[in-house]
Structure 1
């Protein structure tokens, strides 16, 4: 991890010198940089790849879950179960390389997103008052979190917030949909008639983890903000619901927890996607479902503590004390 720290230090200094719309306009000629909610352009850094250097996927193929033979049991997937639709699994082994999947489930246009640097996996409704948007990966980071862009207006969006932060759609918020990370084995057992995203045609080392032992490091990549309070490690996982966060360690200890009108269920058996060199061999971080009092799934995110603190500095840490 020392090499990653050195790379991060170099990128921070280089990005600071280039953090300006005057530098970005040659690549983002349609983005209205005069409209933004970002206090300082120094908050936005290059993550390394250029615009679309990480290519988002549009209209992916799916196969029957029972026909999938490549996924290992503990590999994480993002599960989307919309009413009246066949449940779908989006494997992290693919999202690691593409980060955004623009899909349509029934008549619902969705964006399934995963930011490896924050472990943030959120699904959004792509419909807005400005129309249906298609999202791409800008190559920029803010608080180490992916900055997305829409191809219709080239506004920039903060993935963790689901909110436009630069451009004509600044302030627009996407609707988060109930989706969650769980192991492939858990998805398949519950949904034997479900669907799973098929392997994309692009040549990638699918199943490999480009971020070996990242979630064991002391500091996040390209992050210089405040660290979490309460002696919580920066890259500890928390379950965020709205502006509240529950440490994963607390949920793992409880197994079942009813609090703040929510029911959390934790079970073992999901591999960390950011640990071992093969995703399916990562250490066990467990599966979490979050439901409301009626038993309905609730939109939430399992993210790193530093990212929660960066975007919700006044949020409530649900420590059970």
Structure 2
């Protein structure tokens, strides 16, 4: 599908979802348990309908897994989110599934986790689902803020910003989800490193797994439904950047230099991973490479590779050289 057709489709979804949704009174019939009197959002117009209704993008719970050696149907260059918890068998969550479900509620070694992926800002983060002694499970509101998915927890129906892990509306406003070290890499990289690992089984949902519904999206002029300030320093609004805390490194810089050690972390780039947001088939996307972030001891560091850094960290530090 041509880029213009994709963007036209996204605009249609926006209109179908109703721009009038930027009003808590309008939302209360759909969200009767959400406490709209508590929010970290400065203006309700920041939150817009992305098109699908609540749970129109269905999150997955307690997914099945198969051995890496037995898995078929994933192309070598397709991205997966890798989660390697100490003492547990490594797990891969293919982006071909997350593209259509966006959240997977899982448990690894007794630890409840939420594996999340927002296609519109390329943000893939794994969170610990425990907050203040409670275990939460997450779904998709169908709302966007700064082009990023707004999640909700089913226990309090509070809303959460996926890119930041912050509660932004409801009882959990101001609470934070703890991000876990994880990273996006190619299926081939994961299985070569972890031949005895587990990979999420294909959901029985009848979706077009392996197809990218956002063809050429990461070559667009700006993110979908984003009207805020664009990144400084001439950085393209849909250029991938590595975020560690409130610092951002352009992926292009890491690719060019191969490895950068700064601010207590070492960030490296390696070839082999396809963009999930380029070609009609995910595995045929252009090369974007794999980013790894480690601390001084060599341990993996929680990070993200996304488009929306400046939108959520306007005072953040850009690591340009």
Q: Which moved more, 1:14-23 or 1:275-284?
A: 14-23
3-state SS, counterpart of residue 302 of structure 1: strand
Aligned equivalent of 2:202? 199
Q: Write the distance in 2 (CA, Å) between the matches of 1:309 and 1:44.
A: 17
Instruction: Tell me by how many angstroms 1:14 deviates.
Output: 7.5
Instruction: Tell me by how many angstroms 1:219 deviates.
Output: 1.2
Counterpart selection for 1:262 from 262, 265, 277: 265
Aligned equivalent of 2:90? 87
Matches within 5 A, 1:28-177: 28-129=31-132, 131-177=134-180
Q: Write the distance in 2 (CA, Å) between the matches of 1:15 and 1:299.
A: 36
Unaligned runs of 5+ in 2: none
Deviations 1:267-304 (A, max 9, x none): 00000000000000000100111000011000000001
Instruction: Tell me by how many angstroms 1:18 deviates.
Output: 2.9
Is 1:2 paired with 2:11?
A: no
Q: Is the 8 A contact 2:6 2:215 kept in 1?
A: no
Q: Is the 8 A contact 1:12 1:222 kept in 2?
A: no
Is 1:25 paired with 2:28?
A: yes
Aligned equivalent of 1:309? 310
Q: Is the 8 A contact 1:16 1:42 kept in 2?
A: no
Structure 1 residues 5, 271: CA separation in 2 closer, same or farther (over 3 Å shift)? closer
Matches within 5 A, 1:245-256: 245-256=248-259
Aligned length: 318
Is 1:188 paired with 2:191?
A: yes
3-state SS, counterpart of residue 280 of structure 2: coil
Structure 1 residues 20, 130: CA separation in 2 closer, same or farther (over 3 Å shift)? farther
Q: Write the distance in 2 (CA, Å) between the matches of 1:50 and 1:317.
A: 36
Unaligned runs of 5+ in 1: none
Deviations 1:46-97 (A, max 9, x none): 0000000000000000000111111111000000000000000000000000
Give 4+ residue runs of structure 1 displaced > 2 Å after superposition: 1-18
Q: Is the 8 A contact 1:12 1:45 kept in 2?
A: no
Structure 1 residues 8, 71: CA separation in 2 closer, same or farther (over 3 Å shift)? closer
Q: Which moved more, 1:91-100 or 1:129-138?
A: 129-138
Q: Write the distance in 2 (CA, Å) between the matches of 1:69 and 1:266.
A: 27
Structure 1 residues 69, 7: CA separation in 2 closer, same or farther (over 3 Å shift)? closer
Q: Write the distance in 1 (CA, Å) between the matches of 2:242 and 2:108.
A: 25
Q: CA RMSD in A?
A: 1.4
Q: Write the distance in 2 (CA, Å) between the matches of 1:276 and 1:78.
A: 19
Aligned equivalent of 1:231? 234
